[in-house]
Amino acid sequence: MARNGTTKTYLWCDACRRSYAHADAPAGACPVCAGPTRELGRLAAIARGFMANELVASDLRTKHRQLVRLIWTRNGMGERYYKVLAPDLPYNRFEARVTELLMRGAEEGWVRFVLPAAPSDDAAAYRVEFDDDERFVRELEAIFTSAPAKG
Ligand SMILES: [Zn+2]
């Protein structure tokens, strides 16, 4: 396998059309969409990135998603949701799925991400707002069906 010293590989996500370093994709799950990834050689990963021809746009989308994830998981909130729901999946996949849900909610209009006009040290300036808290709870329950009964 170790030919020409090019043993370094990357993990490619078909859904996001981009590659990740192994360190960024624990257990081989895409850090952005939590989907499965395929191992690719370095050159193949670069070639695919060029073919996808969406590097700039998908980078913005990725950063946007990362920001959403940071907002809802900060101050241990991600871990708290995880403990309460006790879903049958690893934390990083849980985080990705809730992030997906929030982004879908924003698309559908029942979730709002509030951002300051300029980058700020005021953490409270970054927040998630729900038009309908119960909708969010229902959606969470629908996704994580192994969630324990509320109580
Ligand atoms: Zn992905």
Span 17-66, pLDDT tens digits = 888 888 888 888 988 888 999 998 877 777 776 666 545 456 778 888 88
pLDDT at residue 53 in the model: 56
Which residues fall inside 5 Å of ion ligand 1, going by CB?
13, 15-16, 30, 32-33, 35
Ligand 1 centroid to residue 70 C-alpha, Å: 17
CB 71 within 8 A of CB 33: no
pTM over 0.85: no
pLDDT at residue 133 in the model: 84
Ligand 1 centroid to residue 131 C-alpha, Å: 28
Ligand 1 centroid to residue 149 C-alpha, Å: 31
Residue 128 token pair: 């998630």
Instruction: Average the pLDDT over 1-7 and give the result.
Output: 45
